[in-house]
Amino acid sequence: MNTEDKILNASIVLFSQKGFNAVTTKEIAKKAGVSEMTLFRHFESKQNLFEKAFDKFVFSPKFRALYDGLEWDLERDLNKICSSYQDTLYRNQKIILMHFKNDELNPDFDATLFNFPNEFRKLLGYYFEEMKNRGAIRENPETLAMSFLATNFGLFITSLVMNKLTYETDIQVCIATCVKIFAKGITC
């Protein structure tokens, strides 16, 4: 791992634990195993470091590829979609925590963070629109997309906050149950 990556990784950990204002560049440098001078050779300011860390670790899911691979079987597809979404959130939980602990930051970060759920909501909307055209569901596709997104994000936050679900097993049971209830509620 190169020096810049060490600094970025250390900053993500510290920002997500303490928040932007509580972390010093000295702490970040120490955690990364570099001098503070080295940190500033790579990043012009703490704000710049935060922005770069956020950019580097921002979500990179492949939901368009997932969408192309759907079978048009409501429950099966929603299970795939939900599992992929939960996996993406799980892999990026430090970034999510970092955002929640850094509300004093530039509002432009909101746009970056919320780009992912907005894209996901659009793809869900397309999926539900097609399922409605096929006669499989009866509800408004946009409302369904927003409801499914909210349910999934709520599941993630609940598991994160309660820290009681183990990602390997319990989350899959919750996903299957949520999807089954959701699918039964919207089918014709």
* Nearest in space to 158 (alpha carbons), one of 132, 180, 178, 136: 178
Structure confidence by residue, pLDDT tens digits, 122-179: 989 999 999 999 999 999 999 999 999 999 999 888 887 777 555 555 788 889 999 9
Structure confidence by residue, pLDDT tens digits, 1-41: 899 999 999 998 898 788 788 899 999 999 999 999 999 99
Residue range(s) occupied by CATH 1.10.357 in the chain: 59-186
Fold of the 3-56 domain = Arc Repressor Mutant, subunit A (1.10.10)
Q: Check if the beta carbon of residue 165 is closer than 8 Å to that of residue 89.
A: no
Fold of the 59-186 domain = Tetracycline Repressor; domain 2 (1.10.357)
Mean pLDDT to the nearest integer, 36-52: 92
Structure confidence by residue, pLDDT tens digits, 78-90: 999 999 888 888 8
